[in-house]
Amino acid sequence: MRCFLLAISAGLCLNAQAASFHPADQTFIDHAAKLGVPQDQWDQGEFAAATFPNAYKYTRHYKIAKGSLPPEKWQEGKALDLEKLKGQDADAEQDLYTILRDRLKNHSMVVLKGDTVVHQHFFNGMGPDSTHLDMSVTKSFTATLAGIAAAEGLLDMSKPLEHYLPEFKKTAFEGVSIQEIADMRSGLNIPTPPHKSWDPRLTQAQEWHGKNDSGLHGVHAYLLLIKDRKYAPGEVYQYQDPNTEILGQVVERVTNKSLANYLEEKIWKKIGAENDAYWMADPAKFVVASGGLNMSTRDLARVGRVIVNGGKNYKGEQIIPKQFLDDIWNGNQAVKAAWKKGKEYALANDAWYKDQYRVLNIEGHSLLVMIGIHGQVLAIDKESEVIIALNGGYPQTETPRMANLIFYQVIPSILAAVK
C-alpha cells in the first residue's frame, strides 16, 4: 500500500501498531476544570499533586501493554525508617520523611537491592499500581530505543541527521550527527523562558495543553522551524527537548514503527512489567518523546533491574544492548568535555551526559541517572547496585535546590542505610 505524506506530519508509513491509541479523557478534563484545574494549566506546580498521577488523560496517548511475562518475584525487606535518616536543608538538618514529603513534594519511592524491596512508600493517594508522569525520564527511554535500533543494524549513530530525515536540510540540525543529538551536543540556539527547558511553541505543537491557535500540527512541524545554532556541533552540552524529539523521529523512520509500538515490543513486554504504561502524543500521533511517559514507580524500578543486570531481564534475555549501557557508564572524552561547558557542571563537576542518561560521581557514589524536572528519578549506584525510583511534583523546574536535596541529601542517606 502506498504511504501518503501529509505536509504537516512526520511523513512516516508505520507498520500496524500494537500499542493502542486513545484520545484525551474529556470527562476527566471537564471534571478537573470544575475543581479549578484548567487543561491549559494542568502541568503547573500548583496542580501537580492531582494531575501528575493522571497526566496522560490530558492529551492523546498510547497505551503500552505490559505483556504476558509475569513480574519478577520480589522479596519484601524491612522498610527504611525515613524519620531516622537525615539530610541537610537550608534551615536545619531534617529527617528524610520531611525532606521527601514536605520539601521535595515526593509522591512515591521504591528502593531495590537485588530482588529485595528495601523500601517503598506511596504518598499523595497513590498506590503500587498507580502511574505517574515521568517527564524527562522519558528521554532515557527514547535514547534506549535508538540504542536498540543501532544494535539491530537499523541506525548508524555517526551519520548526520539529514541522512535519515532529509527534510531537515537547511535547518539547525543539518550536519549534526545522531550521536551528537543523543548527547545534547547539537549546539541549537533555542531561547526559552526562565525556569523552562523548552520553547513554548513545542508544547503548542504537541497540544500538551489542548488545542491552540499556533497553527503547528505536531512536533515535526515545530522542529522544522529551528534554524539557528549557538555552538558548533559536539562542543557544548545543552539540555534541550528538541534533541530528544528529533531522535525519536529518527527511530520511527529507521524502524518503520511508532515509538510507542517499538517500546512495547522491545522493552515493556519483556521486563515483566506489573502495569500498562501510557505515552502522551501530539495531534499527528507522534509521542512526546522528551517527556510524555507515564508508568508506575515499581515498573520504573524494574527497568533499573534490567540495567543492573547488564541489559538482561530476569529470564536472562538481552533487552537493552550491554554495549550501549557500558558506553554510558564509561563516558568518553567528547561528552566529558562538553559537560564542563554546560550549566550543570556547577552542580556536579565529575559527571557526563550520554545518550540521554547522566552519570554523576558525587559523594563517593557513581550513579547512572534518569531525571525528570519535577523530582522524577531513576538512580542506580554502580558499586552496590541499589536502585532508587522516585516520582514527585516539585513545583518549580530546573532548580539547583531540588537537585541538591535529591542527589546530595536523599540518595546518599539512603545508600548509606542500605549498605
Residue 5: which region, alpha, beta or left (left: phi > 0; alpha: psi -120 to 50)?
beta
Q: Where are the beta strands (DSSP E) in 199-340?
A: 277-280, 293-296
User: Could you read off the pLDDT of 237-272 as tens digits, one per residue?
Assistant: 999 999 999 999 999 999 999 999 999 999 999 999
pLDDT at 283 over 50: yes
Quick: pLDDT tens for 342-399.
Answer: 999 999 999 999 999 999 999 999 999 999 999 999 999 999 999 999 999 999 987 8
Q: What is the mean pLDDT of residues 10-19?
A: 53
Percent of the chain exceeding pLDDT 70 equals 95
Query: CB neighbours (10 Å) of residue 319?
Result: 21
Virtual torsion, Cα 9, 41, 47, 91, nearest 10 deg:
100
Q: Report the pLDDT value the prediction gives residue 371, as an integer from 0 to 100.
A: 97
User: Is the pLDDT confidence value at 142 over 90?
Assistant: yes
Average the pLDDT over 125-154 and give the result: 98
pLDDT band at 5 (very low <50, low <70, confident <90, very high): very low
Question: What would the mean pLDDT of 131-150 be, rounded to a whole number?
Answer: 98
Q: What is the pLDDT of residue 8?
A: 35
Task: Report how far residue 92's alpha carbon sits from residue 99's, in angstroms, rounded to the nearest whole number.
Answer: 11
The owner of cell 522524577 is 376
Contact 251, 149 (CB under 8 A): yes
Q: Give the tens place of pLDDT for each residue, 93-129.
A: 999 999 999 999 999 999 999 999 999 999 999 999 9
Whether the pLDDT of residue 135 is over 80: the answer is yes
pLDDT of 42: 98
Q: Are the C-beta atoms of residues 145 and 154 closer than 8 Å to each other? A: no
Q: What is 223-236 written as a DSSP string?
A: HTT---BSS-TTS-
Q: What's phi and psi for 62, nearest 5 deg?
A: -100, 140
Q: How many residues does the chain have?
A: 419
* Cβ 306 vs Cβ 385: under 8 Å: no
Closest alpha carbon to 126 in 222, 226, 55, 211: 55
* Sequence-ordered list of residues with C-beta below 8 angstroms from that of 213, at least 6 positions apart, any chain: none
Q: Calculate what percentage of the chain has a pLDDT beyond 90.
A: 91
Averaged pLDDT score across all residues of the chain: 94
pLDDT of residue 351: 98
Q: Model-level pTM?
A: 0.95
Per-residue confidence (pLDDT) for residue 170, from 0 to 100: 97
pLDDT of residue 153: 98
| Inter-helix orientation angle 259-266/137-151, to 10° | 70
Closest CA to 178 of 97, 246, 79, 113: 246
The predicted structure's pLDDT at residue 61: 98
- Are 217 and 263 within 8 A, CB to CB? no
Res 1 pLDDT > 90: no
Average pLDDT over residues 393-415: 95
- pLDDT of 3 reads 38
How confident is the model over 383-396, as pLDDT tens digits? 999 999 999 999 99
